Structure 1
C-alpha cells in the first residue's frame, strides 16, 4: 500500500509540474516596438520569428521550448502566420507540439516597415531570432540547434 501511495504521489507531482501549451495572442506593431525598444534588464529575452508553414522554424522550436524560463531567460515566439489561421492552425499546432513559451501572432501587413526595426539588415526571411538584454542585442537570420542557441544565450548571461 505504501508503494502505491508513493507512486501515486510521484505521478501527481510530475503531472502538476508540466506546463500547458501556449495559446496565441494576436498583437500589433506597438507590442513589437515596445518589446524591442524597451528590453528587459533583469533577464535575457529570446525573440524568435517563425511560422507554422516554415519547416526550419518548426524544426528549431524544441530548442526554444527547452530554454524557456530557465536561468532568467524569457522566450517569445512571434508567429508570422496569417491572423485568420490562429484558431484552425496555429493554436492546434501549439497543442500538438507542446509549445510552452509565450506565443504572439504579429498582425501587421506592413512588413517593410517593421522588419528594419528588428534589424536593419534583415530581409524578412525566417527563422530569425533577436536575443537581447538591456542595451545588448544580437540578431540571427538562421535556424538554431539547441546547443547553438544555448551558446549564443550564454553570451548574455
Structure 2
C-alpha cells in the first residue's frame, strides 16, 4: 500500500501545478527562412515583438488567450527581436514572469533588411507585426491587436 501512495501523491501534485513558462529558442536566418517557407496545415500565428516594445507587450495576452482557446487548431509563435545578449537577462525572465505558454523564438540576425522581405514586402520594420499563415494563405498585419479582432482574423482564415 505504501508503494502506491507516494506515486499517487506525486501524480496529484504534478497535475495540479501550473504549466511551465516557455524559454526562448534562438534561431538564425536559416531558421527564419524555414519558418517563413511552406504552407502549414495548421494555422500559424506569428507575432514579431520585443520586451522593450510597450505595444508588443500590451498585446501579448491576446496571443496567449488565443493559444489557450485554439491550441488544437493553431500554433502561436512569438518571435522576439531582442538582442541575443539579453536572452537570459531579459527575455527568459520576462517569459517566466508573464507565464508565456506560446512558442517563443529569438531571432539572432542583426540585418533586418534580410529578414523583413521574407515576412512581407510591405513591412517597414516597425513592431508589433503579425503574420497569419495557413495552407497557401497569408495575412500580414502591421498593428497592435486586441483579442477579439485577432480571433476574428484567425477564424476568417480558418473559415470557422
Q: Counterparts of 2:102 and 2:39 in 1: how far apart (Å)?
A: 17
Q: Does 1:53 align with 2:86?
A: no
TM-aligned CA deviation for residue 15 of structure 1: 2.3
Q: Counterparts of 1:89 and 1:25 in 2: how far apart (Å)?
A: 14
| C-alpha distance after superposition, 1:21-48 (max 9, x if no partner) | 100111001111111112311x110000
| C-alpha distance after superposition, 1:63-101 (max 9, x if no partner) | 111111624110000000000000000000000011110
What residue is the counterpart of 1:122 in the other structure? 123
TM-aligned CA deviation for residue 12 of structure 1: 4.7
In terms of mean alpha carbon deviation, does 18-27 or 45-54 score higher? 18-27
What residue is the counterpart of 2:4 in the other structure? none
Q: Counterparts of 2:25 and 2:15 in 1: how far apart (Å)?
A: 28
What residue is the counterpart of 2:6 in the other structure? none
Q: Unpaired segments of 5 or more residues in structure 2?
A: 1-8
TM-aligned CA deviation for residue 56 of structure 1: 0.3
Q: List structure 1 runs of 4+ shifted beyond 2 angstroms.
A: 11-16
Q: Counterparts of 2:22 and 2:61 in 1: how far apart (Å)?
A: 14
Q: Unpaired segments of 5 or more residues in structure 1?
A: 1-7
TM-score by length of 1: 0.88
Cα 1:120/1:21, change in 2 over 3 Å: same
What residue is the counterpart of 1:30 in the other structure? 30
How is 1:4-153 mapped onto 2 (pairs within 5 angstroms)? 12=13, 15-16=16-17, 18-41=18-41, 43-68=42-67, 70=70, 71-153=72-154
